[in-house]
Structure 1
Amino acid sequence: MSITSPARQPLPAADEASATQVLALATGALRSRRLAEVEELRLGIRWAEVNGHPRDHRDPMVTPGGDGTPPVREHAIPELAMARETHPATTRALVADGLDLVHRLPLTWAVVEAGQCEPWVARKVAVLSRALLDDQVAKVDRAVARAIAGHAPSTVLEIARAKVIEADPETHRAERERSRHERYVRLSRSDEFGYRHLIARVTAGDAAWLDAMVDRVADILGTTMGADHNHDELRSIALGWLARPVDLLKLLLEHTDTETDSPSAAAPAWAIDDLADTVGRLAAMPARRLARLRGRGQLFVHLTDEALRTGTGVARVEGVGPIDVRQLHEVLGHADVTVTPVLDLRLRRRVDAYEHPEVVKDHVWLQTGGDCFPFTPRSATRDRVDFDHAVPYDDTGPPGQTGPQNSGPLRRRHHRTKTHGGLTTRVVGPGRHLWRTPHGQAFLVDHTGTRRVTGDEAAALAGAIEDGVELYFGAASVREWSGDQ
């Protein structure tokens, strides 16, 4: 005797679901999301397969995945990134993780493909195990495949880390030794209030002395700045004093009572014999020479004449972001400041040479506002970009090829991709860059960001600019453009 179960009733929309149905919908949504991420990985893997051979001897191949994964054309990755509307580095990571899962972690990939685990956890395992050789990574694959469907992500990643160490203990010891000698001091990006995080990796001894000095200066500032500052705030301010050694020395000398020290007290182990002579030399130095002890740096600050006059408004600091004008003294301190007038972007600035003069670079940078590659953050600083001719420079061509009408700032990697990856670009108005890819995609990059345009729209934009017309879609407007703006 067989029993036929009734057909499952379709679930209602979320806003009409009961409590039980909401739970069923949540489970279904989870699986749908996981499978959608799996499909993205599959597409990345397939793109690597169809671009697995160079077009010619100048077409470089890279291996984004680990040992045993196939290579892919380096300049093919940005085109897939454009289709996905992401930065090329994000898409490169997707391709690398997908190739690792298929070729190096097949047992784990089977669980991912079935939608039984979070794909991001498997991708993280791929990254953790990437340095292992192909014959070593199987140990990681077996352990992770058994755990990834039922354990919390943190547990799975702990298992993966342990198996990576177990698979190659010698490399792990070498990495630990290398890490012990690795030092750095890094700055985060600025937040919306103009503050940044300073992160450093130093020895335990240096960290202790820095912490003690910051505490010492914070205690002094607590007596000079009033009681309306908490200790953490004072320590943050104190850290800034360490960047001004002359001011710091003066502060410490003014708030150190040397008369209470016992004459018979032994000198601290860190004190140098000629400390008094050093202090005397500092006291005798002119103020301008003392200022040089602070080191040199360069910041580009953009603000209006009204902000300068009234002391209110917003300033934009390249590499930092927008800050309140009243915070400029925190950024600039007592530094020497050079004030330059605003460039008139309507002026004609063209030269006949291949090299971009500084005034043309400034014009292009201000007009474009940053790296003009599609879907790229505008966070690059001008000292880290190349100024690229949109239409390649021709030694036998017409005069005035180098100027805002034919130039765009690009990070070096983006510049190489544009040059060797089959991408073409045109400047179709002040700060407007039209990009086209080998497979027919087209994108317009301007002050509003990056947006996809159709092939017909791209052809119209390029054709209009040839006639000196700047074309806008959606606004039903055109504007004459001489290329000098």
Structure 2
Amino acid sequence: MFEIDAALHPYEVCDLGGAVLFDLISDTRDTEFRTDRRKVRLAYQLCVTNPAGPDVDPATWGDGLPGMAGDFDAVLGGEGTPLVAAFVTEDLAAATRKSRESAKQFLANTLDLHHRLPRTHARFEDLELELWKAFRLAEETHDLSLEAARWIDNHLHEGGSYSMAAMARAVKHGIAKFHPDKLEDDNGLPGKDDWDVEVDHDAGAEGTSTLHATGGSLDLAKFEGLVCDEATTLGRLGDTDTLGQRKAKALGVIADRQASLDLLGILDQDPPVHPETGEPVIPRKSYLKARLFVHLSLTDLATMCAASATVPGDLVEGPDSDTEQGEIGVVDTNMFGPATTTLIAGYLKQLGADARLTPVIDTTRQWAIDAHDPPQSMRDQVTERDPHCVHPYCGRSSKTCDLDHIVPYDDTGPPGQTNPENLAPLCRRHHLLKTHGGWRYQRNRDGTYTWTNQHGRTWLVTHTGTVELTQEL
């Protein structure tokens, strides 16, 4: 395995040892420092040559632009930094193969380092400070005033240490001196603004998801007590699972029981109506409202039907029986990712009447309407065909994206302009970029997309990733 040293001399890695090896390791560190410095210099030059102005909107942390769809959010840099033109972040993201959020953070840190932390920037320029430390300080001082940032910058420079502990002390001291009101809110602990309940279906093995809740202490204490009581009851009824497993199972028991209690309160009405809205209510025993899309072949369907007749009601699967018989198929789902047909069949059996099957979505169906807005069935077809925003390197789920007319819709144009071949999912920011930022794209016959920016650089977006075509020509 050959490498090149700082003097451009080739060497064989497996032949190295002793002092020479350590010299080359040091050279690698110096090369990394210089590479990071070049990245920051180029990023700052990008900001300098693309300023915002009276006729140019500034780049912001939000997805929208002033006066347009979406919310106008704070500009990239902290107090005292110049404004940068909108869509510069998208150009940097595509050029560096990073997400838009990463590009925004890189430019924001670069601006703060140059204009708010000049002494830290000087150390970085002199190859005395790692990039990650300089950027860490920029992020921790970003929301402070310019005066506070400069004071922290001077304090660290005079102290001579940029260790994590030294930076933490300096930042805390600066907050106490210039922003004492932030001390309570800036302790790193969650507060009421962070209250939320989230479920992550990608964080566990098949059939396992994670639930994270942040809320009022009393409310969560009461809920924990309810879950523990239900788990204890399950144990007394003969459930031999561990306490932790019974507590997890208790969540579903509580939800289904509450749904039944809610239903009992309206069953004496014919037809049943919601007690507050007066709207008709569909009787159900479960609160499950999610729409699960399963991508399967006829063989998968046959396997799943066979599995549904044999899966136990408690979804306990034997480690060997199904696998050895070759009856397990793997399908792709929108909620759980890859899943076995046995698992999906078990869910259907467990839900029973609460599982409502909808017609198969044919992602190759060719049809059109004359209106601008596509119906839900056409939207489902496009978002299942393209699972994420089709802009280069963007991974935003298509379920939350706009459906863009690739060839812009013309109110006076021909009929049938709204059709799956002329629709593609774009997140709000990249939708705005295509409309106002000088980017254009086309859908290819094989289902891929070719994008071109205002500088003539091109990218090919496929279901498996993005390839920059400009570099391969």
- TM-score of the superposed pair, with normalisation by structure 1: 0.75
Q: Whose radius of gyration is greater, 1 or 2?
A: 1
CA distance in 1, matches of 2:26, 2:248: 47
Which amino acid in 2 is paired with 1:413? R
* Residue 59 of structure 1: how far off its partner (Å): 4.3
Q: Classify the secondary structure of the residue corresponding to 1:364.
A: helix
Residue of structure 2 in register with 1:483 after alignment? none
Cα deviation digits, residues 435-484 of structure 1 (max 9, x gap):
10001111111222111113997xxxxxxxxxxxxxxxxxxxxxxxxxxx
- Tell me, yes or no, if the aligned pair for 2:37 and 2:125 is still in contact at 8 Å: yes
Which amino acid in 1 is paired with 2:394? T
- Tell me, yes or no, if the aligned pair for 1:137 and 1:164 is still in contact at 8 Å: no
Which amino acid in 1 is paired with 2:306? T
CA distance in 2, matches of 1:165, 1:197: 38
Q: Classify the secondary structure of the residue corresponding to 2:443.
A: strand
Q: Aligned residue pairs: how many?
A: 416
CA distance in 2, matches of 1:128, 1:406: 44
* Residue 329 of structure 1: how far off its partner (Å): 6.9
Q: Classify the secondary structure of the residue corresponding to 1:221.
A: helix
Cα deviation digits, residues 76-99 of structure 1 (max 9, x gap):
210111010111111011000010
Q: Classify the secondary structure of the residue corresponding to 1:28.
A: helix
- Tell me, yes or no, if the aligned pair for 2:259 and 2:286 is still in contact at 8 Å: no
1:405-484 equivalences under 5 Å are 405-454=421-470
Higher mean displacement: 121-130 or 327-336: 327-336
Q: Classify the secondary structure of the residue corresponding to 1:135.
A: helix
For 1:375, which of 387, 393, 399 is the aligned residue?
A: 393
For 2:417, which of 385, 390, 401 is the aligned residue?
A: 401
Residue of structure 2 in register with 1:21 after alignment? 20
CA distance in 2, matches of 1:165, 1:293: 54
* Residue 17 of structure 1: how far off its partner (Å): 1.9
1:311-390 equivalences under 5 Å are 311=307, 312-328=328-344, 334=351, 336-377=354-395, 380-382=397-399, 384-390=400-406
Cα deviation digits, residues 223-264 of structure 1 (max 9, x gap):
44643x333323222334343343898xxxxxxxxxxxxxxx
Residue of structure 2 in register with 1:90 after alignment? 102
Residue of structure 1 in register with 2:294 after alignment? 302
Which amino acid in 1 is paired with 2:134? A
CA distance in 1, matches of 2:8, 2:394: 46
| 1:340 to 1:418, Cα distance in 2 relative to 1, 3 A | same
Q: Which runs of 5+ in 1 are unaligned?
A: 1-7, 250-277, 458-485
| 1:177 to 1:455, Cα distance in 2 relative to 1, 3 A | closer
- Tell me, yes or no, if the aligned pair for 1:443 and 1:451 is still in contact at 8 Å: yes
Residue of structure 2 in register with 1:214 after alignment? 227
* Residue 291 of structure 1: how far off its partner (Å): 5.7
Higher mean displacement: 40-49 or 16-25: 16-25
CA distance in 2, matches of 1:189, 1:155: 39
| 1:168 to 1:371, Cα distance in 2 relative to 1, 3 A | same
Q: Which runs of 5+ in 2 are unaligned?
A: 1-6, 61-74, 273-280, 308-327
Which amino acid in 1 is paired with 2:85? R
CA distance in 2, matches of 1:224, 1:21: 70
User: What fraction of aligned residue pairs are identical, expressed as a percent?
Assistant: 25
* Residue 46 of structure 1: how far off its partner (Å): 1.4
Q: Classify the secondary structure of the residue corresponding to 1:348.
A: coil
Which amino acid in 2 is paired with 1:440? G
Residue of structure 2 in register with 1:77 after alignment? 89
Which amino acid in 1 is paired with 2:23? A
Which amino acid in 2 is paired with 1:198? L
- TM-score of the superposed pair, with normalisation by structure 2: 0.77
- Tell me, yes or no, if the aligned pair for 2:404 and 2:425 is still in contact at 8 Å: yes
Residue 53 (1) aligns with residue 52 (2): yes
Residue of structure 1 in register with 2:140 after alignment? 128
- Tell me, yes or no, if the aligned pair for 1:404 and 1:430 is still in contact at 8 Å: no
CA distance in 1, matches of 2:267, 2:212: 33
Instruction: Please report the RMSD computed on the Cα atoms of aligned residues, expressed in angstroms.
Output: 3.6
- Tell me, yes or no, if the aligned pair for 1:431 and 1:446 is still in contact at 8 Å: yes
CA distance in 2, matches of 1:427, 1:9: 44
CA distance in 1, matches of 2:265, 2:371: 51
